[in-house]
Amino acid sequence: MAKETLEEIQNFEGKYPKQIWSLFFSEMWERFCFYGMRGMLVYFMVTELMLDDKIANLQYGATQAFVYAFTFIGGLFADKILGFRKSLVWGGLLMIIGSLILAFDPKQYFFLGIGFNIIGTGFFKPNISTMVGGLYKEGDVRRDAGFSLFYSGINLGALLGGYACITVAKNYSWNLAFGLAAVAMTISLITFFFTQKNLGPIGYSPIKNKPYESKNLWYDYAVYVGSIAIIPLIMIMVANPEYTDWFMYIIGPLTLIYLGYEMSKYNRNENIKLGAALIFILFSILFWAFFEQSGGSLSLFAKNNLSNTVLGIPLDPNGVNNSANSLFVIIFAPIVGLLWIWMARKKLEPNAVIKFGLGFILLSGGFFIFYSTRFFANLQGITSLDFFTLAYLVITFGELCLSPIGLSLMTKLSPKPLWGMMMGMWFLASAYGQYVAGILGADMVSPDKNATATEKLITYTGGYHQLAIYALISGILLLIISPWVKKLMQEVR
């Protein structure tokens, strides 16, 4: 059976292209691995490595910052050398190795395993998202719905991995929990191997005319060797958060300089749209700095201050913290995606800037609810897991107004040769968000290492109150500047 051409793939009928389902399941299992690992990091560092809460927050922020920073580098190498498919496979293999190292001895080889996972995620994550964009023609109004569906796949994996891994770790062993992440990543790669034939020409190397041509293979080998060689440096920087500071001070300006060089190759209108993309990227840094308290301070909040029932059902509070958001995304992402399609047909769909503004306002509402949990605490400083879960429901709607829309915008506002790079910049913004999230979380830690649960409750919820106010201000600002940004976007909506 002949492979479909790009035109045949993009001329699909219905709401979704058939190829999106294979990418959906491959991403789902990779996110099981990623979010399973993410949900264990702070808890493991505090209970097994015996780090104090502040250092654990900073190292969590450093780890996640490097994960997302390397998505920019992974996207760049995919654009220029490997292509999206080889980048995805290479990243998956590194993630499997990293998870197996942690499964073998997580205490002794913690930073080595994390190093492999950081580089692996950098090669995997931006490139599968970019291939989703390649399934659609420019201007196809179904693209946002496709990314919303894909986003539900991300969150199905996050739901399963986020709850399963921490539960296995707390009730059985950390070795088994990290091993479970390795199994999930293996399933992800197998899924991609058996379904990539349906992608036609999407994702092949930009420097090869044929997918398996031997010419220029040494470029590929240089990327593979270089990515392995940098792992010891990553280990040192993650273990020492002050080195992370220097990395983040340098990588952002260098990225902008390189983007300026690439922009010089395009005309004025294309550069104006890239400028609009940078505005979305800048605001996304703020969004993720607030949102990503979930893996840091909220993880410790769940450990110390939450009851263990939701609507009377016994549940692990850390498992709920890791997976509630994902459950709500699974339920509501397809519905929101279809709502955008319906509103577009009725010419009622808000533009992307308005969606971003609404995302911040809903994020603010969620953090106001996190703050309000202090009013439902008992004398021991234990508060309602029900209200905590409600906050995640509100935040989820904010996320659905921003994150899948942002993924889609990076491909709509960018010239096609820069898709991988701009997707990487979107995730680099997440790196800065994660970095700031770690700093914000560390600042919420009580200075008294022997603080009671009630004192920790007051300290953390006070921090969430401040974040709620900042998110509200950001959302209002976006609504105010939306007409100007809309002009920069030109025909893109």
What's the CATH code of the domain at 419?
1.20.1250.20
Cβ(169)–Cβ(38) below 8 Å: no
Give 168 or 338, the one with higher predicted confidence: 168
Per-residue pLDDT band for 203 (boundaries 50, 70, 90) equals low
Question: Residues near 274 by Cβ (< 8 Å), separated by ≥ 6?
Answer: 259, 263, 266, 413, 414, 418, 422
Tell the residue number behind the tokens 């994702």, with chain if given.
203
3-state secondary structure of 4: coil
436, 144, 183, 110: which is closest to 285 by C-alpha?
Answer: 436
Q: Is residue 260 part of a domain?
A: yes
Query: Distance of CA 308 to CAs 23, 59, 163, 474, Å?
Result: 35, 27, 14, 34
pLDDT greater than 50 at residue 181: yes
| 3 state SS for 188-253 | HHHHHHHHHHHHCCCCCCCCCCCCCCCCCHHHHHHHHHHHHHCHHHHHHHHHCHHHHHHHHHHHHH
Give 312 or 445, the one with higher predicted confidence: 312
Query: N- to C-terminal Cα distance for the chain?
Result: 37
Question: What domain range includes position 427?
Answer: 12-489
Cα 406 → chain centroid: 11
Query: Which amino acid, 226?
Result: G
Tell the residue number behind the tokens 């680099």, with chain if given.
428
Q: Is residue 1 part of a domain?
A: no
Helix 419-444 vs helix 53-77: crossing angle, to nearest 10: 180
Which DSSP letter does residue 306 get?
A: B
pLDDT at 1: 45
Q: Is residue 3 part of a domain?
A: no
Q: What are the two backbone dihedrals, phi and then psi, of residue 446, each rounded to the nearest 5 degrees? A: -60, 135
Could you read off the pLDDT of 20-62 as tens digits, one per residue? 888 888 888 888 888 888 888 888 888 888 888 888 888 888 8
3-state secondary structure of 338: helix
Report the alpha-carbon distance of residue 387 to residue 461 in Å, rounded. Answer: 13
Which DSSP letter does residue 49 get?
A: S
pLDDT at 207: 64
* Gyration radius from the chain CA atoms: 22
pLDDT greater than 80 at residue 437: yes
Q: Is residue 6 part of a domain?
A: no
Could you read off the pLDDT of 324-341 as tens digits, one per residue? 988 998 888 778 877 877
- Token pair belonging to 146: 């496709």
Could you read off the pLDDT of 63-93 as tens digits, one per residue? 888 887 787 777 778 777 777 778 888 888 9
What's the chain's average pLDDT? 83
Q: Is residue 258 part of a domain?
A: yes
Cα 13 → chain centroid: 30
194, 182, 211: which is closest to 92 by C-alpha?
Answer: 182
Report the alpha-carbon distance of residue 340 to residue 332 in Å, rounded. Answer: 12
Strand stretches in 283-371, DSSP E? 309-310, 313-314
Give 212 or 448, the one with higher predicted confidence: 448
Report the alpha-carbon distance of residue 37 to residue 35 in Å, rounded. Answer: 5
Number of domains in the chain: 1
Q: What is the mean pLDDT of residues 221-250?
A: 84
pLDDT at 346: 82
Element (H, E) at 365: helix 352-372
Q: Is residue 2 part of a domain?
A: no
Could you read off the pLDDT of 293-313 as tens digits, one per residue? 888 889 889 888 888 888 888
Could you read off the pLDDT of 452-479 as tens digits, one per residue? 888 888 889 899 999 999 999 999 999 9
Q: What is the mean pLDDT of residues 156-183?
A: 90
Could you read off the pLDDT of 92-135 as tens digits, one per residue? 899 999 999 999 998 889 989 999 999 988 888 767 777 777 78
